Amino acid sequence: MVEVAENETWVHWPIGTLLPPIILSDTGNEIIEPNQRFILSTYYDKFMLDDDEQVNFQIGAGVTIHVITGTLDPQPISNSVRFNYQVVHKPNIRISYGPGEIASKMDNRSAPAKGMVSQQKRVIVSEIGPKVEHILQIEYMGPSNKLKNVTMNVLVPIELNPTDQVGETSQYLLYMFNEIRAPSYDDHNVLEWIDSRPKVYAMGRHSNNNFRDDNDDSNRVGRCIIVNSEKVVNPRELIPMDVKSVYSRRRRGALTKMNESEINTEKYSTDSENQSTSTDSNLFSETIQSSSPKVPVLQFRRLQKEVFECNRVGNRIQKPPICAEIICHVDELVKNRPVLIKVTGWLWARTLFAKHISDIDLVTIVSVNQGHLPKGVKPAIEPIGHFYLSQTFFFPQIRPKLIHQIPIWPIIVGIVLGVICLYLLIILLYLLGFFRRRKT
């Protein structure tokens, strides 16, 4: 029988006759065999409801077991025991790539665009470098029905550390804009401003082919802000234009085998003419072929890639790069209803030419906190989920400085050791009389 009261639930369960303990004759120890075993499970159906309906865990949570017997008990006070416990919130968050594959890109430009260092200049975004579009999928798997007030932090490398820069001008890695001018989806002859800031969307909304992801705020489930955006976003105050691409208002949903080839074909047609993409992320074991007929097929690139990642030192980078912090917030993260975070920018090719870096990995890091918790619930260790999204870019026309790839100290040590060994060998031969002339 179960009785439910305010903040308490009582369960009455008959267990029958309890057997007396077994006393060992040789040692005198008692062995108490369990009569029955019980499994107690607790479920809080109002764990993540409104504040006025949530369970207050500050009162204290625990289990009290009281045994009532029909036999006369000389010590009835010892028939009760209480186990106190604390509710710990451990949500299950799954972070992965967004719809589609993160394509590796090859850029065939032979030199960076001129005049990019000037302020307030009208530029074509394809002249800056290849487009970077990272989409991350975040899904709450339970155990409760939803999380409230969830915050997601995204870190993106945007600039080299001043220690690694060549010259006095800033050397960017990922250049971001608040908005760009591009042909309208309805009329290609009309340019309009397209929002290119980070966004949060619901996964289910991407199946709508008429969805305009640039201006329709009803499809967004949260908001994103860039910390110190006035210094991070478009620091040169450039006027970006993308006349070669038509920004569709639709957003693709989950890929299937039928439409995967169509999406890849669309990416080829909308990218810059001097770029080609490959859906394989491992450039060392597969053949990457350029869309330009003048560029030969590249196989087995043995050059070590430079990894641009926050809080990480690269092969030829002495200090970790400067990163932009993007904070995205959603009011509710419903169970099994994933959301997407989209970060858009352009790789600053001039920096790679200046540093003679031809192969790179650009890494975006996302972490998720656990959101609002009821009173008295102990939070789990944050972040509760993190993910590293890596995309490979390589520039065949950049000639890396091979001298930097060969460490010098083994050569110096080898020469010194060789001279010492030769000197010792000469002394040994001299002591053995090798250099003495034989008398006749």
Q: Give the per-residue SS3 of the chain.
A: CEEEECCEEEECCCCCCCCCCEECCCCCCEECCCCCCCCCCCCCCCCCCCCCCCCCHHHCEEEEEECCCCCCCCCHHHHEEEEEECCEECCCEEEEECCCCCCEEEECCCCCCCCCCCCCCEEEHHHHCCEEEEEEEEEECCCCCEEEEEEEEEEEEEECCHHHCCCCCCCECEECCCEEEEECCCCCCCEEEEECCCEEEEHHHHHCCCCCCCCCHHHECEEEEECCHHHHCCCCCCEEECCCCCCCCCCCCCCCCCCHHHHHHHHHHHCCCCEEEECCCCCCCCCECCCCCCCCCECCCCCCCEEECCCCCCCCCCCCCEEEEEEEEEEEEEECCCEEEEEEEEECHHHHHHHCCCEEEEEEEEEECCCCCCCCCEECCCCCEEEEEEEEEECCCCCCCHHHHCCCHHHHHHHHHHHHHHHHHHHHHHHCCCCCCCCC
Task: Point out the least confidently predicted range of 54-68, 132-146, 170-184, 296-310.
Answer: 296-310
CB atoms within 10 A of CB 428: 10
Is a pLDDT exceeding 90 seen at residue 344?
A: yes
Query: Mean pLDDT over residues 2-22, rounded?
Result: 71
Most confident of 98-112, 143-157, 301-315, 399-413: 143-157
* pLDDT above 50: residue 268: no
φ, ψ at 383 (rounded to 5°): -75, 150
Look at residue 293 in the predicted model and tell me its pLDDT. Answer: 35
Pair type for strands 146-159 and 359-368:
antiparallel
CB 38 within 8 A of CB 81: no
Beta bridge partners of 366: 154, 387
pLDDT above 70: residue 353: yes
Residue 151: is its pLDDT beyond 80? yes
Task: Please tell me which residue, 376 or 231, carries the higher pLDDT value.
Answer: 231
**Residue 50: per-residue pLDDT:** 56
Average pLDDT over residues 388-398: 91
Whether pLDDT at 163 is above 50 = yes
Taking residues 127-141, what's their average pLDDT? 92
Biggest CA-to-CA distance, the chain: 125
Distances from the Cα of 306 to the Cα of 128, 168, 197, 302, 365, angstroms: 19, 22, 26, 12, 17
Least confidently predicted of 166-175, 368-377, 390-399, 420-429: 368-377
Question: Quick one: tokens of 27?
Answer: 């040692």
More confident call, 41 vs 250: 41
Look at residue 267 in the predicted model and tell me its pLDDT.
37
pLDDT tens profile 83-131: 887 778 888 899 998 887 788 888 888 887 776 666 668 888 888 999 9
Per-residue pLDDT tens over the stretch 172-205:
999 999 998 888 766 667 788 888 999 998 876 4
What pLDDT score was predicted for residue 2?
Answer: 60
pLDDT band at 323 (very low <50, low <70, confident <90, very high): very high
Contact 112/175 with Cβ under 8 angstroms? Answer: no
- Give the rounded percent of residues in the chain with a pLDDT score beyond 70: 70
How high is the pLDDT of residue 211?
Answer: 37
Which one has a higher pLDDT value, 282 or 375? 375
Check residue 279 and give its pLDDT: 37
- pLDDT at 419 exceeding the cut of 50: yes
User: Rounded distance, CA 89 to CA 233, Å?
Assistant: 36
Of 159 and 77, the one with more pLDDT: 159
Give how far Cα 240 sits from Cα of 161, 171, 243, 360, Å. 25, 18, 10, 24
Does 60 score more than 60 pLDDT?
yes
Amino acid at 266: E
As a whole number, the mean pLDDT across the chain is: 75
**CA 46/CA 42 separation, integer angstroms:** 12
CA–CA gap between residue 420 and residue 414 (Å, rounded) = 10
By the 10 Å C-beta count (0-12 exposed, 13-18 middle, 19+ buried), 346 is classed as buried
Asked if residues 328 and 343 have their Cβ atoms less than 8 Å apart, the reply is no
Evaluate if residue 272 carries a pLDDT over 50.
no
Backbone angles phi, psi at 283, to 5 degrees: -85, -5
Q: pLDDT-derived band of residue 320, with 50, 70 and 90 as boundaries?
A: very high
Angle at 131 between CA 125 and CA 132, to 5 degrees: 140
Q: Which of 94-98, 187-191, 245-249, 262-266 holds the top average pLDDT?
A: 94-98
